[in-house]
Amino acid sequence: MPLYIKDPEVDRLTEELIGLTKSSKVEAVKAALKHEIANHRGSLPMRERLAKSLAMAREAGPFAPGDHKRETDEMWGED
């Protein structure tokens, strides 16, 4: 769904960012949104960030036993 914003302040801020970054309106808005998302993610409490990492690790499953050096060497074509 397209994003349509009719707000004079948003338009003014977008134009200011375009002027500072010499970018297009789409690039300026995208960069600002990415920056704000990263800023908020970085400010999440450590407990929440670790919980997400733990959930990903559980989903990935246990580390498979085996000769990982040999497997890696084979992948890279090394003896």
- pLDDT given for residue 11 in this prediction: 93
Residue 28: is its pLDDT beyond 90? yes
Per the prediction, the chain carries an average pLDDT of 88
Q: What is residue 29's predicted lDDT score, i.e. its pLDDT?
A: 93
Judged against a pLDDT cut of 90, whether residue 35 lies above it is answered with yes
C-alpha triplet 67, 73, 78: angle, nearest 5°: 145
How much helix, strand and coil, in percent to the nearest 5, is found in the chain?
Answer: 70, 0, 30
User: Tens digit of pLDDT for each residue in 57-74?
Assistant: 888 888 777 788 888 888
Tell me, yes or no, if the pTM score tops 0.85. no
